[in-house]
């Protein structure tokens, strides 16, 4: 709760537009938590100070709804399908910083061979795609880092299918749209009733 209070003080004084975005972000994360309940004790959750250190290391401010997601859920499998990178994860395969480095490096190299298949630049290039997760079918998910972070749209990459597609949703809006059957997921027959759970890797 202290995280919310700190930002509301700042935006009430100087940035009313930002406050509206914060309210919408708060609504989105609450909607997501209503669809998929977070664990009572999320695993691998750091502090706000550590979060800021990670943002400084990346050189970008990350979206608020993503931060709220990580603090609420921690490390695990979301809704039976999505693996959202966690800046505090111990595994190099699920940690944000190592995953950003790995995925962007691979895609930049692939882009040199197949430029038509990879139409967007990749982080750290300006407006480049910044990965936030993947799924059980091996597809990747990114933010397009254009404009303020809380307005970044999602880009999905179906690696063994139709390639890249943009969605006019933020991170949480995208997940909510999938779970509400409003956006087609990259998996047939998904989601089922059994998918509306979060599998914390602390329980594995």
Mean pLDDT confidence for 141-148: 97
What residue segments make up the domains of the chain, in order of their start?
2-184
Taking each helix axis from N to C terminus, what angle separates 64-73 and 16-35, rounded to the nearest 10 degrees? 30
Can you tell me whether residue 12 is helix, strand or coil? Answer: helix
To the nearest 5 percent, what fractions of the chain are helix, strand and coil? 45, 20, 40
User: H helices of 36-148, where?
Assistant: 48-58, 64-73, 96-113
Q: What is the reported pLDDT for 26?
A: 66
pLDDT at 23 over 90: no
Residues 155 and 165: beta-carbon distance below 8 Å = yes
Q: Is the pTM of this model over 0.75?
A: yes
Confidence of residue 203 (pLDDT cuts 50, 70, 90): low
How big is the chain, counted in residues?
204
Task: List the beta strands (DSSP E) in the chain.
Answer: 76-78, 82-84, 129-135, 140-144, 153-158, 163-167, 198-200
Q: What counts of helices (H) and strands (E) characterise the chain?
A: 6, 7
pLDDT, tens digit, for every residue of 39-81?
A: 999 999 999 999 999 999 999 999 999 999 999 999 999 999 9
Phi, psi for residue 181 in degrees, rounded to 5? 60, 35
CATH topology for 2-184?
Answer: SMI1/KNR4-like (3.40.1580)
Beta bridge partner(s), residue 31: none
> What are the residues whose beta carbons fall under 8 Å from the beta carbon of 9, sequence distance 6 or more?
none
């Amino acid at each position: 709760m202290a995280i919310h209070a700190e930002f509301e003080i700042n935006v009430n004084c100087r940035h009313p537009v930002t406050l509206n975005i914060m309210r919408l972000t708060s609504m989105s994360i609450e909607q997501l938590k209503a669809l998929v309940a977070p664990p009572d004790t999320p695993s691998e959750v750091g502090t706000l100070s550590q979060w800021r250190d990670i943002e400084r290391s990346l050189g970008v401010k990350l979206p608020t709804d993503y931060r709220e997601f990580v603090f609420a859920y921690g490390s695990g499998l979301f809704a039976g399908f999505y693996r959202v990178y966690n800046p505090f994860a111990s595994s190099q395969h699920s940690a944000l910083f190592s995953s950003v480095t790995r995925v962007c490096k691979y895609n930049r190299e692939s882009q040199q061979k197949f430029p038509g298949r990879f139409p967007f630049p990749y982080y750290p290039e300006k407006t480049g795609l910044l990965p936030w997760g993947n799924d059980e079918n091996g597809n990747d998910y990114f933010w397009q880092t254009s404009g303020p972070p809380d307005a970044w749209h999602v880009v999905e990459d179906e690696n063994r299918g139709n390639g890249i597609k943009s969605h006019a949703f933020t991170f949480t809006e995208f997940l909510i749209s999938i779970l509400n059957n409003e956006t087609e997921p990259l998996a047939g027959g998904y989601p089922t009733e059994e998918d509306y759970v979060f599998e914390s890797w602390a329980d594995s």
